[in-house]
Structure 1
Amino acid sequence: MSKRTHEQQLAARKAQRQAERQAERARQRRNMAVTVTAVVAVVAVLVGVFVFFGPKGEDTPVAGSDTPSVPPSDAPAGPDNKPKTIPTALAAAPKRATPLPAEVNCTYKKGAEPASKKVNPPADGKIKASGTSKVSLNTSVGDLQVTLDSALAPCTVKNFLSLVGQKYFDNTTCHRLTVGEGLQVLQCGDPSGSGSGGPGYSFADEVYPTLKYGRGILAMANSGPNTNGSQFFIVYGDASGLGPQYTAFGTLDEASLKLVDKVAQAGVTPQNGPTDGAPVTPVKITTATAAA
C-alpha cells in the first residue's frame, strides 16, 4: 500500500468518526428537545387543571340580597356539581349562651333599592324574645316544615312572619344551591330569582359569637352587617365554612331535609363555581303559610 493510499484511508476514517459524532450529537439534541417539550406539556396541563378547578376549600360564602348572580358557565357540569356526601345527623338547635331580655326593640329601615315585590315592612317597636312559630313552605318538591324561634332572633322571626302573611314568598323560586364541602345550603326568598332582590328594607343582625350552623338550621342571607331583608337559607348538610355572621332563626325537621337532600343530589347548574348555582331540580315556593 502506498503512503498516499494509507493517508487517504486515515482521512476517510477520521471523516467517518466526525460524521458519527455529529450524528450522535444531533440525536441527543433531538432527544433533549422531545424531553423538554414533554415537560412543558405536563406543566401546562397541571397549570390548566389548577386554574380550572381552583384551590380546594374556597367555597363561596352565602350570597346576600345585594349580590347578583354570575351568568351561567357554558362548560358542561362535572362531578363537582353534586355533593360528595351529605351529613345525616341533625345539628343541635341553636341556643344563646346568654338569653335576650324579655323584650327587644325592632327597627326596619327603608333601603336604597326598591322591593322586588310590593310589601310593607313590619312595624317598629318592642316584641317578646320568646316562643316558637310554625310555618309551612309548600314547594314544588314537597312541604318544608319550619319552626321559628323568637328566643334566638325575635326581630327576624317577626319579619319572616310578616312576609309570610303578605304572601311575599308565594310563587317564588329558591335561586341558589351549594353542594361543596363546608357549604351545603339551599337559598330562597328573592322574588326576582336573581339573587339580588329583597323587600326594599333591612334590619339588624341577631347573631352571637358561639353561633354555629349545621343540618336543619334556618338562617338569613345578607350582603354585609345589618343588611337582612327577605333572603334566607336552609342548611341541609355541612356548613363548617360559615362564620357566625348570619342570623339563625329556626330549624327544619328531618322529613323536610330529606326533600332538600334529593334536590341537592340532583346537582347544580354551575354559576359561581362548579359547586354553586341554580338547582338542577327547580324548587318553587307555591305558598308559605303560618300555623294559626
Structure 2
Amino acid sequence: MIRALALLLSAFLSIMPVAAQTPGDVRVALDTGAGRIVVAVHADKAPVTAANFLKYVDQKRFDGIVFYRGVGAADYGFVQGGAQNDPKRILPPIKHEPTSLTGLVHDDGALSMARYAPGSATGDFFIVLGKMPGMDAHPEAAGDNQGFAVFAHVVEGLDVVKAILSQPKSPTKGEGVMKGQILETPVKIITARRVP
C-alpha cells in the first residue's frame, strides 16, 4: 500500500510544473560597459537578501551605478559595485541572512552583500571569483562571525567579471583597507533587468 502511494505521488509530481514545486531562481542581466553578466538570484534560499536585490533591480536603482572595487587578480578575488550610499539610490538596511542559515557559500560566481555590521547591508554587493570560505559565517568564532550574505550566482558572463577584476587599480584612491583596491576607471552597470 505504501509503495503504491509513493508511486502515485511520484507520478503526480512528475506531471506538475517545476515552478509549482519550488519558487526557483530569478534571473537578472547586468549589462555593463565590459559586457553582460547574468545572475540567478536564489529567492527561495535567501528570501530577504534576494528580495532586496530585486527591489533595486525593479526600481532601476542599479541603472548607472558602477563596479568600483577589485580585490585579487586573474580568477581569484572579488569585484564590488553598488549604490555607494547615494541617498537617491539606497533603500533601508536589511536583516542579515548568514550562510549558516541559507546554506549558500562564497564559491566561484557567488554574489554577496557588502556590509559593515550585520544588518547594515543596503545596495552594494560583490561577486566572488574562486572559493572564499573565510567570507562565510563561522558561528564558532569570536567577534563578528556572521560573514556576508550570499544570495545569487553568476550563470553567464564570468569572463566579464574576470575582465573587471583585471582593470588597473588606483594606488591612491580609497581609504583604510580599500586603499589600492579602487578601480582606476570604474565599470558602469548600464542596466539591471529581470530576464526569462
Pair in the same fold by TM > 0.5: yes
- Point out where structure 1 has 5 or more consecutive residues left out of the alignment: 1-128
| In structure 2, distance between residues paired with 1:277 and 1:144 | 21
State the shift of 1:212 in Å.
3.0
Count of aligned residue pairs for this structure pair: 160
Q: Which amino acid aligns with 1:230?
A: G
* Aligned position for 1:260: 161
State the shift of 1:135 in Å.
0.3
- Point out where structure 2 has 5 or more consecutive residues left out of the alignment: 1-21, 138-146
| In structure 2, distance between residues paired with 1:164 and 1:273 | 29
C-alpha offsets along residues 167-203 of structure 1, whole Å, 9 cap, x if unaligned?
100011112111179x71111112568xx99614111
Q: Which amino acid aligns with 1:239?
A: M
State the shift of 1:226 in Å.
1.1
Q: Which amino acid aligns with 2:164?
A: V
Higher strand fraction (1 or 2): 2
1:247 to 144, 149, 152: 149
State the shift of 1:162 in Å.
1.2
1:56-75 paired onto structure 2 within 5 Å: none
User: SS state of the match for residue 201, structure 1?
Assistant: coil
* Aligned position for 1:226: 119
1:175 to 48, 55, 68: 68
1:141 to 26, 34, 39: 34
CA 1:241/1:208 → structure 2, altered by over 3 Å: closer, same or farther?
A: closer
Retained in 2: the 8 A contact 1:178–1:275? no
Superposition misfits of 4+ residues, deviation over 3 angstroms: 270-276
Between 165-174 and 151-160, the greater mean CA deviation after superposition: 151-160
2:106 to 213, 218, 239: 213
* Aligned position for 1:202: 93
* Aligned position for 1:151: 44
Q: Which amino acid aligns with 2:106?
A: Y
Retained in 1: the 8 A contact 2:84–2:124? no
| In structure 1, distance between residues paired with 2:159 and 2:28 | 17
Q: Indicate yes or no: 2:179 matched with 1:288.
A: no
- Highest RCO, 1 vs 2 (Cα 8 Å, sep ≥ 6): 2
Q: Which amino acid aligns with 2:170?
A: T
| In structure 2, distance between residues paired with 1:158 and 1:290 | 13
Retained in 1: the 8 A contact 2:25–2:43? yes
Q: Which amino acid aligns with 1:268?
A: K
TM-score normalised to the size of structure 2? 0.70
Identical-residue share of aligned pairs (%): 28
